[in-house]
Amino acid sequence: MLSHILGHHGIENVVLEGQSMAYVAARIRAGVLEHGTVEMLKEYGLADRMLKQGRPKEGTEIVWENRPSSFIDLKRWTGKQMWAWGQSNIQEDLHQTLTAADADMVHEAGEVALHDVTGDPHVTYVKDGMHHRLDADFICGCDGFHGPSRHAIPADLRR
């Protein structure tokens, strides 16, 4: 999503993904989107399929052990609704949109490492046995807990 937003604003960017696109597309993820996410998808032209095939949700049902269930009516209390639409579907739409825009995506990037993140930032990686280096103004570490970004940030700057 960040790549799409940056590209929308004319900012050159590269997505490095450690897995193949087939793996990413097959990964099961959450399926309920909050109102703000739905509005962002609409704003950036990625909501068409969701609005046709997804399902609006007025709220959520809380079920716990043998206790009576409880419905939280978000539509009533906030005036906003959520959508039942899998993140895997969003990933498919994003990939299709980025591919159509000829975005710079590298799948199956191995040995990704971030360097000099507080000075002259750059990223190195291996693809098809070849070593590559990307020089950057900024590095956005959107790789979760187990990716290389967290460890590239100096310990005294992490929070």
Q: What is the pLDDT of residue 142?
A: 86
Instruction: Give pLDDT tens digits for 121-146.
Output: 999 999 999 999 999 999 988 887 77
3 has pLDDT over 90: yes
Instruction: Give pLDDT tens digits for 47-105.
Output: 999 999 999 999 888 998 999 999 989 899 999 999 999 888 888 899 999 999 999 99
In order, the DSSP letters of the chain are -HHHHHHHTT---EEE-SS-HHHHHH-----EE-HHHHHHHHHTT--HHHHHHSEEES-EEE--TTSPPEEE-HHHHHS--EEE--HHHHHHHHHHHHHHTT-EEE-S-EEEEEE-TTSS-EEEEEETTEEEEEE-S-----STTTSSHHHHS-GGG--
Domain boundaries along the sequence of the chain: 109-159
